[in-house]
């Protein structure tokens, strides 16, 4: 830096001074300023109003926690107006106030985020409701997959959080710091922190924690675990398909169970197939044996021969039997329609005659003595057996005679009982 005196032959022109354009950029360093003399704010051009407006325009949802809140037995709602920081209802995302109608977590007082569980194992949660300027905390749980009011059977003490919508210009620093500590009385907890907690519990379960060290808590990351599970599932599916397609003794159909049924034996498909197959073989063997006759039957009705199939042999049986039945029927008809005839010569003194060829059907007896027709109940009576069949005729007190050496001749005609 050059300092010059400016002189004039005619006299002094004034004190030499620095002009701004004479100061080279970066020529002066911090050590050229006195640390004991700060720059006055009037020389700083900061638009604090615009800065505050920017903070006020930035909305944020924060959680306000309340601890040691008593809920009486038989209640499904409590009044919380006195706990609400801002009694204005936030009707949209740009309105500051209390957010209503959103699901809120509640926990058992003094526990590490331990929730209330209803009788069906569902989580009990809460919602803030506003009515005529009063604020209420309503309790709910799921019943058959649908939301339903939940009533506490016994009195309980809970901790809960509700949501207030505000802007960045009014959030106190100590509230944000204490909010990072989790469920702390009157703490303001940022939504991002709660989302991290939710994500952590979804991954690690209820016992998970955020230890803030930035290191992985899982020996195998979630993506790799999913890939491993997919591979294991594919391997298992392949093994199952291979086992079902295998013809090994303990594989294939032996792996598939069956319902117990009295019509077959076996606990799996392979055993049942073997049982049914053996039955088919037995039936085929039996059918093959039935198809032929090795020798004539003992009475000679059925002749030896190979009939090809069981049906062929059955047809042969039917044919022979049908012919024999027809012959027997013809014989029976002949016997039933032909009359028996008997002739007897008296020796003298006979009062009755018993049929020689068998019993006669009632009302079929025709009796002649010496050519004269004899009338029943007038000239003779029937001799009956215990079943009412006619076994002979009775003439008593008349008798058959022999006159001059010529005997009485008895002729009887009747239809015999077979």
Does residue 189 surpass a pLDDT of 80? no
**Half-sphere exposure in the Cβ direction for 3 (13 Å, CA):** 4
DSSP 30: G
- At residue 187, the pLDDT reads 43
Q: How many helices (H) and strands (E) does the chain have?
A: 6, 22
Chain-wide mean pLDDT for the chain?
81
Percent of the chain's residues with pLDDT above 90: 35
For residues 113 and 187, what is the distance between their CA atoms, to the nearest angstrom?
15
Nearest to 342 by CA among 326, 353, 327: 353
Nearest to 356 by CA among 296, 410, 283: 410
Between these two residues, 358 and 306, which has the higher pLDDT value?
358
Nearest to 57 by CA among 96, 89, 86, 92: 96
Where residue 358 falls (left for φ over 0; alpha for ψ -120 to 50; beta otherwise) is: left
Provide the CA 229 distance to its chain's centre, in angstroms: 25
- At residue 43, the pLDDT reads 65
Mean per-residue pLDDT, 27-49: 61
**Half-sphere exposure in the Cβ direction for 63 (13 Å, CA):** 26
Label residue 31 by pLDDT band (50, 70, 90): low
Contacts of 249 (CB under 8 A, 6+ apart): none
Does residue 26 surpass a pLDDT of 60? no
User: What is the token pair recorded at 107?
Assistant: 């926990």
Between these two residues, 17 and 76, which has the higher pLDDT value?
76
Nearest to 359 by CA among 386, 316, 390: 390
Contacts of 139 (CB under 8 A, 6+ apart): 71, 76, 77, 106, 124, 125, 126, 149, 150, 151, 152
User: What is the token pair recorded at 395?
Assistant: 């003439």
Mean per-residue pLDDT, 322-347: 84
**Collapsed DSSP state (helix, strand, coil) of residue 80:** coil
Nearest to 198 by CA among 102, 113, 139: 113
φ/ψ of residue 337, rounded to 5: -100, -15
For residues 265 and 274, what is the distance between their CA atoms, to the nearest angstrom?
9
Mean per-residue pLDDT, 8-22: 55
- At residue 398, the pLDDT reads 93
Q: Across-strand partners of 213?
A: none
Max mean pLDDT among 207-216, 293-302, 379-388 falls in: 379-388
- At residue 72, the pLDDT reads 93
Domains in the chain: boundaries: 56-204, 220-247, 340-414
Does residue 381 surpass a pLDDT of 90? yes
CB contact burial 71-105 (16+ within 10 A = b; e otherwise):
beeeeebbebeebbeeeebbeeeeeebbbbeeebb
pLDDT in tens, 205-243: 777 776 655 677 788 888 899 999 999 999 999 999 998
């Amino acid at each position: 830096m050059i300092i010059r005196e400016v002189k004039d032959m005619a006299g002094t022109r004034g004190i030499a001074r620095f002009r701004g354009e004479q100061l080279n950029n970066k020529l002066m360093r911090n050590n050229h300023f006195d640390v004991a003399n700060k720059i006055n704010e009037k020389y700083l051009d900061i638009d604090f109003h615009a800065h505050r407006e920017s903070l006020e325009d930035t909305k944020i949802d924060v959680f306000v926690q309340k601890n040691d809140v008593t809920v009486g037995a038989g209640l499904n709602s409590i009044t919380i107006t006195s706990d609400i920081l801002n009694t204005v209802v936030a009707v949209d995302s740009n309105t500051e106030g209390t957010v209503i109608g959103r699901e809120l977590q509640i926990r058992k007082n003094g526990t590490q985020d331990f929730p209330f569980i209803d009788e069906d194992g569902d989580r009990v949660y809460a919602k803030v409701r506003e009515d005529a300027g009063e604020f209420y905390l309503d309790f709910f749980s799921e019943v058959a997959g649908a939301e339903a009011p939940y009533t506490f059977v016994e009195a309980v003490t809970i901790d809960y959080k509700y949501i207030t919508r505000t802007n960045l210009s009014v959030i106190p620093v100590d509230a944000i710091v204490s909010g990072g500590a989790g469920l702390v009385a009157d703490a303001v907890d940022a939504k991002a922190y709660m989302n991290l907690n939710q994500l952590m519990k979804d991954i690690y379960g209820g016992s998970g924690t955020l230890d803030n060290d930035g290191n992985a808590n899982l020996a195998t990351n979630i993506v790799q675990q999913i890939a491993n599970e997919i591979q294991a599932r594919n391997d298992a599916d392949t093994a199952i398909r291979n086992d079902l397609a295998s013809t090994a003794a303990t594989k294939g159909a032996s792996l598939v169970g069956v319902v117990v049924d009295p019509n077959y034996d076996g606990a799996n498909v392979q055993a049942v197939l073997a049982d049914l197959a053996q039955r088919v073989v037995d039936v085929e063997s039996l059918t093959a044996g039935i198809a032929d006759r090795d020798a004539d039957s003992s009475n000679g009705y059925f002749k030896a021969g190979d009939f090809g199939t069981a049906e062929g042999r059955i047809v042969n049986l039917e044919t022979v039997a049908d012919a024999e039945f027809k012959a027997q029927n013809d014989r029976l008809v002949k016997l039933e329609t032909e009359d028996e005839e008997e002739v007897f010569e008296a020796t003298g003194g006979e009062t009755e005659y018993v049929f020689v060829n068998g019993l006669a059907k009632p009302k079929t007896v025709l009796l002649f003595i010496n050519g004269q027709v004899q009338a029943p109940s007038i000239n003779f009576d029937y001799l009956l057996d215990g079943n009412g069949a006619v076994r002979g005729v009775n003439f008593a007190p008349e008798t058959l005679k022999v006159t001059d050496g010529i005997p009485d001749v008895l002729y009887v005609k009747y239809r015999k009982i077979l």
